[in-house]
Amino acid sequence: MGKGEDYFARLAARGVSRRSFMKYCTALTATMGLSAAYVPKVAEVFAQPAQRPPVIWLHFAECTGCSESLLRSQYPYVDDLVLEVLAVEYHETLMAAAGHQAEEALHAAVEKYDGKFICVVEGSVATAYGGGYGKVGGRTFLEIAKEVVPRAAATIAYGTCACFGGIPAAKPNPGGYKGVGDAIGVKTLNIPGCPPNPINLVGTIVNYLLLGKLPDLDEKGRPLFAFGKTVHDQCPRRSHFENGEFAESFGSPEAAMGYCLYKLGCRGPETYNNCPVAKFNDGTSWPVEAGAPCIGCSQPDFWDTMTPFYEEF
């Protein structure tokens, strides 16, 4: 069996038909803004590419929600990503080794793949008091970022904390937290969200594996395929907004009818993300669909600029 066929056989054994898988690749390709001709190539990427590109994942001041969001990825599942698609050479939440064995693994990976690895950063970097509010293995996040990030082929800041500072940077920001790019003066590809939709990270990685380059970015370093439009412009409740049909209270008949949540504080008009279209957890739902106004979680400094969340903007 060829490698591709073996992959489809494994998928079938787990109840995922080739048809479902191709549907997913089609959706992913569409999300990335590529033409339909790319669909079989995307499928090939997951059916084992020629070599597994190395990924080093750094955790700084984070809640691990971003790593957890990637664990929710389906087609490919995380085991596909870790065992067949990528070489995730360092990830503190999953790795077996601890302590100095873990540190050695990080050091070895940086040396072996110098200039060739994708660095994914989760969490923001403390800069006050010499970065002393956050450490791993006795070294500050700042030190680690300065050492590892410049040696990557590309660095993806995953989650609003790594992109823009996130919650630790909210006023009064006791630790002097910053997004990793700002903290060390490096340009990062930013996939914000609190946490982001993993389909946007997977889409970015596939773009890189397929085309050998990162996707087109906006002025904030965010991939346009995911962050090119506002939530408002893609919202299924938009016609209610245009018709002046608003829910004015939670649990009201209007809320039950799915009216626009603008008056309950929805930040959709100010927020660039693809939540209404990509949805979360294998297309199950997204906040507005569950009756919860958008809080703008992929925007820089949203904890300060978008609050109070339940007041109309």
Partner 1 sequence: MGQRIIVDPITRIEGHLRIEIEVEGGKVKNAWSSGQMFRGIEMILQGRDPRDAHHFVQRSCGVCTYVHSVASVRAVDDAVGVKIPKNARLIRNLLHAAQFQHDHLVHFYHLHALDWVDVISALKADPKATATLADNVSGSKVGGANYYKSVQQRLQTFVDSGQLGPFANAYWGHPAYKLTPEANLMACAHYIEALRLQAKAARMHAIFGGKNPHPQSLVVGGVTCVADLTPERIAEFLYIAKETQDFVKNVYIPDLLAVASFYKDWGGIGGCTNFLAYGEFPQNEKEPESLYMPRGVVFGRDVAKVQPVDQMKITEDVTRSWYEEGGKPLHPWAGETKPLKENPKYDTASSGGKYSWTKAPRYEGKSCEVGPLARVLVAYGKGHKDLKPLVDSTLEKLGIPVEALFSTLGRTAARGLETIAIGDQVESWVMELVENLKNGDNSTYTPYEMKDGQGVGLNDVPRGALGHWVKIKDGKIENYQYVVPSTWNLGPRDAAGNMSPVEEALIGTPIHDPKRPMEILRTVHSFDPCIACAIHVIDPDSNEVYKVRVC
Q: For the window 190-219, what string marks contact with partner 1 as x by the rule CB under 8 A?
A: ----xx------------------------
Number of residues interacting with partner 1: please give it, by CB under 8 A.
95
Q: Scan residues 131-150 and list those touching partner 1 (CB under 8 A).
A: 131-138, 140
The residue within the footprint of partner 1, chosen from 20, 33, 44, 74 (CB under 8 A), is 74
Is residue 2 a contact residue for partner 1 (CB under 8 A)? no
**Complex with partner 1: residue 36 or 290, whichever CB lies closer:** 290
**Complex with partner 1: residue 75 or 272, whichever CB lies closer:** 75
Work out whether strand 125-126 and strand 177-178 pair parallel, antiparallel, or are unpaired. Answer: antiparallel
| One-letter amino acid for residue 85 of the chain | V
Is residue 260 a contact residue for partner 1 (CB under 8 A)? no
Nearest to 179 by CA among 208, 149, 200: 149
Nearest to 218 by CA among 166, 274, 153: 274
Is residue 267 a contact residue for partner 1 (CB under 8 A)? no
Is residue 153 a contact residue for partner 1 (CB under 8 A)? no
**Complex with partner 1: residue 34 or 235, whichever CB lies closer:** 235
**Complex with partner 1: residue 2 or 172, whichever CB lies closer:** 172
| One-letter amino acid for residue 5 of the chain | E
CA angle 130, 157, 295 (to 5 degrees): 100
What SS3 class is residue 240? helix
Is residue 102 a contact residue for partner 1 (CB under 8 A)? yes
Interface region with partner 1, contact rule CB under 8 A, candidates 25-33, 148-156, 179-187, 286-294? 286-294
Cis? peptide before 150, omega within 30° of 0: no
The residue within the footprint of partner 1, chosen from 117, 177, 225, 272 (CB under 8 A), is 177
Interface region with partner 1, contact rule CB under 8 A, candidates 38-46, 71-79, 147-155, 214-222? 71-79
What SS3 class is residue 308? coil
Residue 180: both structure tokens together = 């990793």
| One-letter amino acid for residue 217 of the chain | L
208 touches 214 (CB < 8 A): yes
Is residue 77 a contact residue for partner 1 (CB under 8 A)? yes
Q: Smallest distance, Å, CB 160 to partner 1? A: 10
Interface region with partner 1, contact rule CB under 8 A, candidates 9-17, 23-31, 182-190, 213-221? 9-17
75-80: long-range pairs with CB below 8 Å, 24+: 75/16, 75/20, 75/21, 75/24, 76/46, 76/202, 80/46
Q: Smallest distance, Å, CB 190 to partner 1? A: 18
